[in-house]
Amino acid sequence: MSREQRNFLKKLRQKKLLIFLIQIAIVILFFVLWELLANFHIINEFIFSKPSKVITTIGSLIATNNLFNHIFTTIYEIIIAFSLGIVLGFIIAIILYEFPTLAKICDPFLTMLNSLPKVALGPLIIIIAGANIKSVIIMALLINLIVSVITIYNGFNGIDPNKIKLLDSLKATKRQKLTKLIIPASYQTIISSLKLNISMSQIGVVMGEFLVSKEGLGYLIIYGTQVFNLSLVMSGILILIIISFILYKLVVYLEHILLKDKS
């Protein structure tokens, strides 16, 4: 490795470290300002709580063994909804790509379903699936599935048509075109779909827990609202943000592995 390469990599590492430190500083500054604004009564402490109260609330939940069960329930539901959403979305996108006429028929219906407020279907979901985890996962699927289908399908359609014509001239079968060109060339789009799907799954799960669940972080937030324990509400929101960050980083790590294998 040359001296110039070493200097370049060193600057790159320094830049990444600087970005990370700035991010940490922003988070710390946010919590410090939040605490100070509450202590000096600039914001309503009853409504917005404050970090010290949130930490105390989380500590009491851990002490009473009520926290981790809610966390594990929500994560389990997110993983199930995410897995189903991405697998079904991938399969449906392939079907629509292979049958353009079917895609044109389904296009307006996909748009309508995507724009429909899914929470409006909540009562119907509860009647059909019952007030249980199934309803939570169905709610999450309604939110993440259509987005996954549209994103992956548009990625397939974005492939350079000249490359497809080249394979056609070589008498490639549909399966060969799909496995050798369409899917590998859509890696970046599929990864983008994963990132979007994980956030949509979390939103859907929390919405489902708002409606039917008796455990999970969504239930914890709703319960805190009902008993006017806003510190409990803020604790649930803060934990959801942390979970969202961790899940996003896992998808980014998966992206790194897939793109590294591709290269």
The pLDDT value recorded for residue 34 is 95
The end-to-end CA distance of the chain, in Å, is 21
**Region at 128 (left for phi over 0; alpha for psi -120 to 50; beta for the rest):** alpha
User: Confidence class of residue 214 from pLDDT cuts 50, 70 and 90?
Assistant: confident
- Judged against a pLDDT cut of 70, whether residue 222 lies above it is answered with yes
Average pLDDT score over the chain: 89
Residues with Cβ within 8 Å of residue 226, at least 6 apart in sequence: none
pTM of the shown model: 0.88
The pLDDT value recorded for residue 1 is 66
How many helices and strands (H and E) does the chain possess? 13, 0
- Judged against a pLDDT cut of 70, whether residue 262 lies above it is answered with no
The pLDDT value recorded for residue 223 is 92
Percent of the chain at pLDDT > 90 equals: 51
The pLDDT value recorded for residue 77 is 94
The pLDDT value recorded for residue 195 is 87
User: Confidence class of residue 261 from pLDDT cuts 50, 70 and 90?
Assistant: low
The pLDDT value recorded for residue 263 is 55
